[in-house]
Amino acid sequence: MSGIPSNERRRPDRAALVIAPVLFAIAALIWWDAGRLAEMSNYSRIGPATVPHVVAIGLALLAVWTGFEAWRGDFPEREPIEVKPVVFIVAGLAGQMLLLKTAGFSIATGALFALTAFGFGRRKLWISLPIGIAFSFVVYIIFGRFLQLSLPAGPLEHLFF
């Protein structure tokens, strides 16, 4: 995902060149999985494997085309990417995912909220974390209590309900 700025046109775009094998690998995966199916239902020509085969062939062709365009440097120029904020936000999402069951909705989502704000430059976690937890708790009351979505409860939610 590192953006390599290509100043001259018609120069291989190395980052984009990676896409081609990835697409090809996905195509191979779909083909392999469909092959497993075809064995189970080989008495008719049209079965569950037909469409996966078509999709796999399509992706393989697109992989070749992608490789060709990337080699010629036909992909649009990319803005340079700042990786740090992305890492913080992904950490927030991963954190919420792992905390959800044990810490409950409000605390887990509060962590996501604070880390996202951190990624966007609000570095004062001692302010943003309580705000995030309080806000998530209000959302929990509205959606979990009034609209009856099943949001996981944790220590904070059990304290009140």
Residues 88-127 that bind other proteins (CB under 8 A): 88-90, 92-94, 96-98, 100-101, 105, 109, 112-114, 116-122
Query: Judged by CB, which is closer to other proteins: 132, or 156?
Result: 132
Residues of this chain, 58-77, that bind other proteins according to CB under 8 A: 58-59, 62, 65-66, 69, 75-76
Q: How far apart are CA 78 and CA 142, in angstroms?
A: 41
Using CB under 8 A as the binding rule, whether residue 23 contacts other proteins is answered as yes
Is-contact 130 111, C-beta < 8 A?
no
CB of 68 to other proteins, least distance (A): 9
Distance of CA 160 to the CA centre of its chain: 34
Per the structure block, which two tokens stand in for 75?
A: 């992909």
CB of 156 to other proteins, least distance (A): 15
Count of beta carbons in the 10 Å neighbourhood of residue 15: 15
